Amino acid sequence: MPQKKKVIPIRAITKPEPQPRRQYDCSKCPGYCCSYPLIEVGKRDIARLARHFGVSYEHAQKNYFKFDRGAKVWSLRRKKDEHFGQICRFFDTDKRRCTVYEARPGVCRDYPEASKCGYYEFLRFERSHQQDPEFVATT
């Protein structure tokens, strides 16, 4: 009896889907997403910021984060902000920029997970209608 040849399926090599081009510029935003009341972080985020500042994991956890008992998660600490009331403690409220951009948490890296940002669209609309390129809408 002849031996059966083993059939090895050939799979088409597919290219990854091209990412849609970003249609927003975080450097022109006053930090809407940074003003969220809860910015959840994980152990990797805490470790990344500890390395960034050259401190121990425990020091970073105690000084830069807080445990939210309601949500049962670790989150970024916040500070006062003239526009939003409270904002991420790592946000420069004068320059309106993230001070730990290279070491920012994963949730910040992934936001807004789309080619468009609703906050940025809103901001552009308001600045255009106010005829003020620096206007910060807080509604």
Q: Are 65 and 77 in contact (CB under 8 A)?
A: yes
Average pLDDT over residues 17-36: 82
For position 137, what pLDDT does the model report?
A: 83
Query: What's the pLDDT band for 139 if we cut at 50, 70, 90?
Result: low
Q: What's the gap between Cα 34 and its chain centre?
A: 8
Q: What is the pTM of this model?
A: 0.76
Length of the chain in terms of residues written: 139
Higher pLDDT, 19 or 49: 49
Q: Are 41 and 104 in contact (CB under 8 A)?
A: no
Run of H or E residues at 24: none
